[in-house]
Each structure stands twice: as C-alpha cells, then as structure tokens.
Structure 1
Amino acid sequence: FQKYATEIRKQCGDRAFLRAYHFLHETDRVTDEVTALEHGEIRSFLNHIIESGRSSFMYLQNVYPPNDLTHQSLAVGLAISEEILSGKGAWRVHGGGFAGTIQAFVPKHLADSYRKGMDSLFGEGSCHQLRIRNAGGIEIDL
C-alpha cells in the first residue's frame, strides 16, 4: 500500500488515501478479533476493538463532520469512555459514526457508572445497556 501512496494521494486526495488505509487494515483486525474470541483471549479481543476504533477516528475520519468543528460530541463520548474503561473494557465509534453511536464493552461492575457518565454528558436515556445472550448469533431459516 505504501508503495502506491503518492499515486493514490495524487489521484484521490489524502482523505481517500487515509480511508482506504483504514479499510485495508480493518480486514486484518477483524480476523484477529475472531481468532482472539475463538481462543478465549478476551483482553486481546478488546484491544483489537480499541485499535479498530482508533483507526476509525484517525483514518476513516467518521467521528465528526469536517464542516462542524464546534460540536464533537462523539469524540467527547469516546474520550470519557477511555477515561472510565481504560484497561478494563473497550470502546469505539460504531456504525456510520456521524450518527453519534459508541459501542462499549463494559465490565458489570462499571456498568452503572458508565451509563450515568454517558447520560450526564448526553441526556438521560442516551446510553442503552445491551447484553449478549449465551447462544450468541444464530441463523433463522424462514
């Protein structure tokens, strides 16, 4: 990828180059996440989630729109998530990013304080606690 950087930047611009860089490496991260889960390496999985989120922020650039630098609520939420969860959980921008959604993996003992922290920043009920069921994802044949 690096060997084509100059040409890609010339043809497409820096933002397109950075976004392509993210997607190229994100594919490898997903494989690493799956491997970590298959081996029961939860800390490794969470580290890959954090790495993926940082790549989304830096290279995919989907945390705040470039035309509104005054309002960066998603970046604020990510910063506070890092402060609360560092070394204990994981956090990342989720979905398209600009909609302002964070995916956080929060240990049970921090769930209430995390939810209260997010609700105090963004309004009551803005943080939704989901649980992963024991069965995980299943296929439904219709």
Structure 2
Amino acid sequence: MKFVKDRWAMEALHALQQRDHVRLKEVFQELPDACVNSSVEKCPGGAPFDFAGEGFFDSRAAAWASPTFNIAKHGDSLLILALRQFDPASAAALVEVGADLNATNVDNESGISLAWAAYLSLTTGEPAVASQLDAHKAAYEALFDRIKPQML
C-alpha cells in the first residue's frame, strides 16, 4: 500500500475517519516516522486542533472537515479517539502497533478507562451506551481479550 511518507498523521486520521483498521495498522507498520502515541494539541484562542501537523478543524468547517474534531480534546491520542468513536477494531489495531493504553488527555481519560467504560456498559446492559456498542460487540470482545492483562 502506498502512503505519503511525510504525512503519516494525515494517513492515520483518514484511516480512523473511515474506520479502516487495516489501513490504520499499516500506516504505523510501514512508515518509520509515524508516532502512534502522538496527541491532539488545542491551539490558543479557540483555533483548530492540531494532531502531529494535521489540523482538526473548528465547527465553521464542519461541512468539509473530518468529523473527528467534534469529539477531539486536548491530549487525545488516536486510541482515545477510536474508543470515543465506538471503533474497537481500530483501537485493537492501535494497541497492536504499540499505542499506550495509559496516556491521558486533558480530562484524565485514557484508553484503558474508555475500554473499561465500554466493557461495563456491555456487561451491565446500560441501555444508552450499550445500543451504540452492541453493533460492534465482537470487535469489543476481541479488544478486551487483547488488553485483558492491562485491565486487571
């Protein structure tokens, strides 16, 4: 697969936006400069977010920008974004290539805390969240199996 070498962040964000966990994993396997634990930076004055040189656009650009900006917070990693978007397959791919489950954002959320929240919602049947998770139940089970040692 061909990637733009100097634009790994763009490639990763595009794969995450498309929920393409195979491509997301390939970005980090094939591009040596790719940093799986990079985080979102909020620019001062309400400016757009930035992720490793690739912009998350503000709400005025909603018609053409990646939808990821709607859920991005300062300090988010790709893993946190994947879990917040209910994309366990991408989260598992990121963990496989070395994403840090303990990296936190500005609200002290981490990959492990979001995974625990998803696990509890699926197992306790919390209706509001479980309905969004049920569509990806098998992928969540695979993710939980992969990160079980860190969850204990």
Structure number with greater CO (CA < 8 Å, separation at least 6) is: 2
User: Do Structure 1 and Structure 2 share a fold, with TM-score over 0.5?
Assistant: no
Give the TM-score normalised by structure 2.
0.27
Tell me which structure has the larger Cα radius of gyration. Answer: 1
Report the TM-score, using the length of structure 1 for normalisation.
0.28
